[in-house]
A and B are shown apart, each in its own frame.
Chain A
Amino acid sequence: MLPMLKYELVQKNNWVTEDELLDYYAVGQCTPGIIAVNVATFVGFKRKGIPGAIFSTLGMISPSLIIVSILAMFLNQFLSNEWVAHAVGGIKLIVCALMLNTVVTMAKKSIKNAIGWIVCALAFLLAFFTPIPTVLIVVLAGAFGIIMYKAGKLKV
């Protein structure tokens, strides 16, 4: 997504400098939500305030809304078709492999030390064996980070 943002926002439209874009990208990663949307919202807000933020966000989600709705409509109708069912059978394998890829990429990016591995394993086990809501696990991890920092055990 970053190369595309760079081309559209820096080179074509001159809305932000490349350094600004990288700053926004960094902030986009530490605000909740989808990173690419956060960057778009940020650029919109910097250019034209709240209306700019709203319109750039709407622009970012419109293609998904249109394309995915149309595909969902067709797929839901044709799922009972024998050929489509076989195709979906093959696609399942690919989706599993893609998801495996996602987890490995996330792990490489987000786990930097032994504490990180322990927190990752704990979150997995809590989600596996207990009915603790996902939101609570996220909040607990955040609180743990602050406690570790206060105790001087976490360098950030």
Chain B
Amino acid sequence: MNVYLALFIEFFQIGLFAIGGGPATIPFLMDLPNRYDWYTVADVTNMLAVSESTPGPIGINMATYAGYNAAGFLGGLVATLSLVLPSLIVIVIVAKILDKFSKNMYVKSSFAMIRPAVTGLIAMAVYGIFRASLFTDANGNFHFPVLLFIACIGIYGLMNIKKLKKLHPAFWILCGAIVGIIFKL
């Protein structure tokens, strides 16, 4: 299949089913390498680093990056436009019945269960990111680097200290790059 057509179909689907905002796109993006050779699961880590540290919504940044890896700038353009097209259509339809829509019991009750399910799917995707970027050695085998794992949990703890909570992800990513160069990670 034509790569642009494939990007359109995949990202239109992601835009339609990613309920709960940007992070909800991650499980879908982790699934794409199973079916296409656009990028690998390991690449998702780099994509997330770039998406977290650049302005703009993370979901949009991820789509642009994924599309770019698949088919250059035009690929990024097609992926991003396809991702927002369902929102555009749904909102133009919903705008007229705004009050009815957001108070509709079917919408409310289905979303009340979709949100927890999406959280579970994101947890799975995050496990996948840990496996690809921490638990895989240079030969592609499973390993468990205890020190790095503890360091990661420690960084998570630091991020949640009150005074550091407001820092932009780009700051942490810059620190990570410096530490990586110093310790030759």
Name A's B-contacting residues (CB within 8 A): 1, 23, 26-27, 29-38, 41-42, 45-46, 50, 53-54, 57, 60-61, 63-65, 67-69, 71-73, 75-76, 79, 83, 86-103, 106-107, 109-112, 115-117, 119-125, 127-128, 133-135, 137-146, 148-149, 154, 156
Give the total of B residues in contact with A, Cβ under 8 Å: 99
Whether the Cβ atoms of B54 and A71 lie closer than 8 Å is: yes
Whether the Cβ atoms of B87 and A37 lie closer than 8 Å is: yes
Whether the Cβ atoms of A64 and B102 lie closer than 8 Å is: no
Q: Is the interface of A mostly helix, strand, loop or mixed?
A: helix
Assuming the contacts A68-B68, A97-B156, A99-B48, asked whether A135 and B13 have C-beta atoms less than 8 A apart, the reply is yes
26 sampled A-B residue pairs with Cβ under 8 A: A27-B91, A32-B90, A33-B84, A41-B91, A46-B95, A60-B56, A61-B81, A64-B55, A65-B80, A68-B51, A71-B54, A73-B68, A86-B184, A90-B177, A92-B185, A93-B134, A93-B185, A98-B169, A107-B119, A119-B116, A120-B116, A120-B119, A127-B27, A138-B117, A139-B17, A148-B113
Whether the Cβ atoms of B105 and A83 lie closer than 8 Å is: no
Chain B residues near A35: list those with CB within 8 A.
21-22, 57
**Nearest neighbor of B104 in chain A, beta-carbon distance:** A30
Assuming the contacts A32-B86, A57-B88, A91-B173, asked whether A102 and B126 have C-beta atoms less than 8 A apart, the reply is yes
Chain A residues near B87: list those with CB within 8 A.
31-34, 37-38, 41, 57
The proximity string for B residues 133-146 relative to A, scoring 1 for CB distances below 8 Å and 0 otherwise, is 11000000000000
Whether the Cβ atoms of A53 and B134 lie closer than 8 Å is: no
Whether the Cβ atoms of B116 and A141 lie closer than 8 Å is: yes
Whether the Cβ atoms of B177 and A102 lie closer than 8 Å is: no
**Nearest CB in chain A: distance from B51 CB, A:** 7
Shortest Cβ-Cβ A-B pairs, 7 listed: A90-B180, A123-B120, A89-B185, A145-B113, A141-B117, A33-B87, A149-B109
Whether the Cβ atoms of B180 and A87 lie closer than 8 Å is: yes
Whether the Cβ atoms of A117 and B116 lie closer than 8 Å is: yes
> Besides A91-B176, A101-B160, 18 other CB < 8 A contacts?
A23-B98, A31-B94, A33-B18, A34-B59, A45-B91, A57-B88, A92-B45, A93-B148, A93-B176, A94-B155, A100-B153, A101-B156, A106-B118, A110-B115, A123-B118, A124-B124, A128-B124, A138-B19
CA distance A69 to B63 in the complex (A): 11
CA distance A98 to B176 in the complex (A): 12
Assuming the contacts A94-B173, A95-B129, A120-B117, asked whether A88 and B46 have C-beta atoms less than 8 A apart, the reply is yes
Chain B residues near A143: list those with CB within 8 A.
110
Chain B residues near A110: list those with CB within 8 A.
20, 115-116, 118-119
**Is B41 in the interface zone, CB < 8 Å from A?**
no
Q: Is the interface of B mostly helix, strand, loop or mixed?
A: helix
CA distance A65 to B57 in the complex (A): 11
Assuming the contacts A68-B68, A75-B46, A145-B111, asked whether A98 and B52 have C-beta atoms less than 8 A apart, the reply is yes
CA distance A87 to B176 in the complex (A): 7
Interface centre among B25, B95, B115 (most CB of A within 10 A): B115
Assuming the contacts A32-B16, A64-B80, A100-B126, asked whether A156 and B112 have C-beta atoms less than 8 A apart, the reply is yes
